[in-house]
Amino acid sequence: MEYFNIEYISIATGFLLILIGIFGILTQKNLLKIVIGFTLFDTGTHIVMVSIAYVRGRTAPIIDETINVSDAVNRIVDPLPQALVLTAIVIGLGVTALMLAYILKLNKEHKSLDIASFKDLKW
Amino acid sequence: MLKKGIILAIVIAFAAIFFNLFSSFNGNTELSDLSSYYAINEPAQVGAANLVTAIVVTYRGLDTLGEVVILFLSAAIVSFLLKLHYNEQNDEERKNGLRPSSEVLQTATRILVPIIFMFGAYVFINGHLTPGGGFQGGAIIASGFVLLLLAKPEMKINHQLINIIESISGISFVLVGILGILLADGFLDNNLFGLGTFGTLISAGAIPIIYIFIGLKVGSELSSIVGTFNETQKEN
């Protein structure tokens, strides 16, 4: 029954999201749907990173009245991957905005969102 | 057919990798060495109640500077790619053809937008005490801006003002970092004027100042991205 703990469930969910994202990126023809695949991939990675840092029975890494400063090391989850995920979310947002801008530009040139109709750089 | 087979093979290969990773994960019982170091020494060294903030802004401040630069670059590239060349007349014609947004949305916007902006400011000012920080507060401010755009799509966006806010907060972030070299131990060190009382608003040295600048910068950048996308829609 160990696999029904929260960290296993969320890691499995994250991996599942990554797989759905990869599948979407590879199979979809519509550029917007490919972007959705990328964001799913992104979100899955973030969920996996945060849940790897989870320590069972502990609380968020914020020291307040309920957590003693001297005892903090035994009471909090790992703050480092959370900080990295914070960075990753922002970068993911920037990349998504860029992809959408390119799609708008491509759509204006070719009047199409189908990836098969862009043959300019195909070899 | 071959293509579908290849796609299936790739997905199955990834699934196998992930299954291996999953089955070798045994859960944690204690923190890693680095995180233990942060948890033990952070209150004395940095003084922020929120450990994630301490890591993002001080221990890994350079990473955050790079992150802000990446966000700036993507905002700049978006507005470069979607450069406007629509004329006012088309805009007028289009406006006349548009159905105005509903009464509910317009009234709700008038009430909610100031509150959303205030909440965003609260989140980035209290980034060192509560969950949140500059990036989250900036995103909240940008979401208020999205609501504004939904209610009034024909709204003119003052890009000049957004650019000024963004540049000033970006430069101030770097200046606070350089002050760290002069007054404290190094670039982006937060111990400029003493750390203050642990757990109060005036604590953690320069972290609240840096997070206010990051919040303003992120808020204005995201607003400018959203605004540029909205304006491109008008182009025909």
Percent with pLDDT over 90 in chain A: 28
Per-residue pLDDT, B226: 87
Per-residue pLDDT, A1: 62
B153 against A35, higher pLDDT: A35
Domain ranges of chain B: 33-84+99-234
Tokens of A81: 């991957």
pLDDT confidence tier of residue A38, bands split at 50, 70 and 90 = very high
Q: Categorise residue A23: left if φ over 0, alpha if ψ from -120 to 50, beta otherwise.
A: alpha
Beta strands of chain A (E only): which ranges?
A: none
pLDDT confidence tier of residue A34, bands split at 50, 70 and 90 = very high
Q: How many CB atoms lie within 10 A of CB B139?
A: 20
A45-68 pLDDT, tens digit per residue, is: 999 998 888 888 888 888 877 777
Backbone angles phi, psi at B153, to 5 degrees: -65, -25
Per-residue pLDDT, B84: 64
Cα distance between residue B50 and residue B42, in whole Å: 10
Q: Are B174 and B25 within 8 A, CB to CB? A: no
Q: Which of A32-36, A117-121, B10-14, B48-52 has the lowest mean pLDDT?
A: A117-121
Per-residue pLDDT, B94: 60
pLDDT confidence tier of residue A71, bands split at 50, 70 and 90 = confident
Q: Are A11 and B25 within 8 A, CB to CB? A: yes
Q: Choosing among B2, B25, B28, which should be mutated to test the A contact, i.e. which has the most A CBs within 10 A?
A: B28
Using CA coordinates, name the residue in chain B closest to A11. B22
Q: Are the Cβ atoms of A15 and B22 closer than 8 angstroms?
A: yes
Q: Does A36 score more than 90 pLDDT?
A: yes
* Out of A15, A26, A72, closest to residue B7 by CB: A26
Region A6-117: CATH code? 1.10.287.3510
Alpha-carbon Rg for chain B in angstroms: 23
Q: Are A118 and A30 within 8 A, CB to CB? A: no
Which stretches of chain B drop beneath a pLDDT of 70? 84-98, 233-236
Q: Are A58 and A76 within 8 A, CB to CB? A: yes
Q: Choosing among B74, B83, B128, B211, which should be mutated to test the A contact, i.e. which has the most A CBs within 10 A?
A: B74
Per-residue pLDDT, B13: 92
Measured between beta carbons, the chain A residues lying within 8 angstroms of B230 are none
Tokens of A42: 């992104």
Per-residue pLDDT, A69: 74
Look up the pTM and report it. Answer: 0.83
Cα distance between residue A72 and residue B108, in whole Å: 43
Percent with pLDDT over 70 in chain A: 97
